[in-house]
Amino acid sequence: MSNRFTRIPDGDPPALPPAMNPVIAVADWFMVAMLSRPSKGSMRRTWVTPATLWLALATALVFIVGFWLAIVHLDSALRIVAGIGSLCMVAGSAAVAAVGIAQRRA
C-alpha cells in the first residue's frame, strides 16, 4: 500500500545522464553498506522513494554537523575515526539524494 512517502511513478525510472555514473556507483555501495539494497540491484533501475530522499538529505545534514563536532571536540585518534566515518555517511547519503533528485528532474 503506497502513501505519499512511498509513492513512486509507474514504470522504470528515467535514464540518467552519463555524468551521474560515479554518483550512482557511490549510492549503490552506500545502499549495500546500509543493508538496504534495492530489489532491482542498482539505483539506476530503482526509483528513490520520497521517504528515502528526505532521509538521505537529513542524514547528510546530520553527519555534516557530526563531522564538524568530531573535528572540533575529539582527541586525535577519535577525531580521525569519527571524521572518516562521518565523511563516508555524508558522501553516501548525498549520493542517494542526488540520484533521487536527478530522477525527479529527468
The CA-atom distances, in angstroms, between 73 and each of 20, 58, 90, 94 are 35, 22, 19, 24
Chain-centroid distance, C-alpha 16: 16
Give CB contacts under 8 A, 24+ apart, made by 82-87: 87/63
Q: Along the 106 residues of the chain, how does pLDDT read in single tens digits?
A: 668 788 888 888 999 999 999 999 999 999 999 998 888 889 999 999 999 999 999 999 999 998 998 888 888 888 888 889 999 999 999 999 999 999 999 8
Q: What pLDDT is recorded for position 89? A: 96
Q: Model pTM? A: 0.89
Domain that holds residue 42: 18-105
CA distance 19 to 54: 23
Q: How far apart are the first and last CA of the chain?
A: 26
In-domain check, residue 80: yes
Number of domains, the chain: 1
CA distance 12 to 103: 10
Q: What pLDDT is recorded for position 41? A: 85
